Amino acid sequence: MQGILLFAHGARDPAWARPFETIAARMREAAGGRPVALAYLELMEPRLDAAAHALAAQGCTTITVVPLFLGAGGHVRRDLPELLARLRAQLPAVTIRDTAAIGETEAITRAIAQAALTLVDDPRAGAPAA
């Protein structure tokens, strides 16, 4: 079974995680029964290793890590490979792979550009109701 592990930075403010939790929930709805977990690099739980172990405990033999970062900076290029190497050593029966940073995909750059234009035209577009 394939598990999907969304990987975000983390922040001190719990409200920061809301969009990531929404993404994870939408993916669970669309993932065709594949388990979807959300993990953080720092400041929030669960961390990447705990989430990967939980997916493995659910029977996932393949885990695909999707970095929810706008660009492939140091966390994606340096930290993530180190974390994945540790996970592979801890979970040798599980195939662990990763994708490009989500923000470097054509679909996301196009969607962000459109969302930015929408906000230019209506600065309150998408804002939560007060």
Using the structure block, give the residue that is written with the tokens 């801890």: 90
9 carries an active-site annotation: yes
Q: CA–CA separation, 105 vs 120, rounded Å?
A: 23
Amino acid identity at 61 = T
82: containing domain:
2-103
- Domain assignment present for residue 120? The answer is no
Quick: pLDDT tens for 56-114: 999 999 999 999 999 887 788 899 999 999 999 999 999 999 999 999 999 999 999 99
Measure the CA–CA gap between 36 and 28, rounded to whole angstroms: 6
Residue pair 13/44 in contact by the 8 Å Cβ criterion: no
Residue 112: inside a domain, yes or no? no
- Asked whether residue 118 is assigned to any structural domain, the reply reads no
Catalytic-labelled residue, pool 1, 5, 9, 83: 9
CATH for 90 = 3.40.50.1400
Asked if residue 61 is part of any domain, the answer here is yes
- Look at residue 130 and tell me if it is in a domain: no
Would the pLDDT of 130 be above 60? no
Give the pLDDT score at 71.
83
Residue 117 lies in a domain: no
* Domain count of the fold of the chain: 1
Burial class of residue 126 (count of CB atoms within 10 Å of its CB; 0-12, 13-18, 19+) = exposed
**Which of these, 58, 47, 34, 35, lies nearest to 7 by C-alpha position?**
47
Tokens of 77: 């290029």
% the chain with pLDDT above 90: 88
Has residue 126 been placed in a domain? no
